[in-house]
Amino acid sequence: MNFALVLFLLLVATGVLWAADRFFARKRRAPGSPSPWWVEYGASFFPVILIVFGLRSFIVEPFKIPSGSMIPTLLVGDFILVNKWTYGIRLPVINKKVLSVNDPARGDVMVFRYPADPSMDYIKRVVGLPGDRVEYIDKRLRINGEVVAVSPQDDYLHPDRLYYSPRFSEKLGGVDHSILIEREAPAYVPQVLDYPFRENCTYTSSGVSCVVPQGHYFVMGDNRDSSSDSRVWGFVPDANIVGKAFFIWFNFSDMKRIGSFR
């Protein structure tokens, strides 16, 4: 369901009712007479929906993490907030940018519309910018020929499945964050889709090498061997960007997770 479209239609419907009451019906009612039902249950919701629509469209939008592709940074069930204006002001519903503010930077955790199905929202970490050469060979990340620095950390315990994954600290674009890399998982990229600018990428048994086209971004999950990302389905167009994730505001299973993240 396109919630933004539903909210917009509700805004239009209640706005029409509010305007009809404010400029026409109210003047014709007798002083002291009660408001009709369509005012009580329609027009009265207009200011509330207007505020919600404005906040969600231009300031901040809530999301729930549905999968484990961003473990250990984000867990399944995390409720997060996404900054809608940091990458520019976009028109609601059609997501067309009308004012540029900042461009996505390496290391940002970004929400975007899944290129293969724009009705779905995905969340990944920005790895490659327009024009970058991104290589993920033998599970080592290189950007423009330079190896991205990693250092080992304590293994990560998956609480739902009670097993450990090797955890590393990675510094990407000045952002220090944790990633998981499974030693036994194959280095090659399985089940690669046919996507726009597929010719920019070369796949081997050791991994993938891509040149990011202009106006697009290369993204990856922090759970490197359990993430379907740009390695599989290609680049994220600028037109698909929703915003930058920055805060965990709730998790039913672990209230201690509330707070900002990188």
107 close to 177: Cβ distance less than 8 angstroms: yes
Bin 99: left if φ > 0, else alpha if -120 < ψ < 50, else beta. Answer: beta
End-to-end CA distance of the chain: 29
Among 57, 69, 227, 228, the active-site one is 69
Among 57, 84, 124, 139, the active-site one is 124
Whole-number Å distance between alpha carbons of 140 and 159: 27
Instruction: Indicate if 69 belongs to the active site.
Output: yes
8 half-sphere exposure, CB direction, 13 A CA radius = 11
Instruction: Indicate if 124 belongs to the active site.
Output: yes
DSSP 18: H
List, in sequence order, the alpha helices (H) in the chain. 3-20, 26-28, 37-40, 46-58, 230-233
Residue 248 vs residues 56, 78, 143: alpha-carbon distances, Å: 16, 6, 29
Active-site amino acid positions: 69, 124
